[in-house]
Amino acid sequence: MQISKTTQNFAKRRGLELTSVDSDGTELLCVWEAGNDWEWICSFQPVNDQLVFFGNIYLPQECLNALPTTIADEA
C-alpha cells in the first residue's frame, strides 16, 4: 500500500504517523501517535478503492465515534 507524501504530511501536522502493516496476512493502514512505536491507535483495511475501519486499540469512545467507517481512495 502506498501512502502519499501529502497524506503523510497531513498526519504529521496532527501529531500522527501512518504505516502499512501486514497483520497475519491482512494489509492494514495503521495510525500511530507520533513517536509511539509500541502500538498503533487504530487501523483501516484497504477494500477495493476505499479504506474500511478495521480496529481500535485505545481510542476513547468519543474519538472513535468521530472516525469515518470508510475513506475513499485518494487516487
pLDDT digits (tens, 9 = 90+) for 38-56: 899 999 999 988 999 998 8
Contact 56, 42 (CB under 8 A): yes
Given a cut of 90, whether residue 36 has pLDDT beyond it is no
Q: Parse the chain into domains and list their residue ranges.
A: 5-72
Contact 45, 30 (CB under 8 A): no
What is the helix, strand, coil percentage profile of the chain, to 5? 20, 45, 35
Q: Determine the pLDDT at residue 1.
A: 78
75 — pLDDT class (breaks 50, 70, 90) = low
Contact 39, 62 (CB under 8 A): no
Q: Determine the pLDDT at residue 16.
A: 95
- For residue 23, give the nearest of 34, 11, 39 by alpha carbon: 39
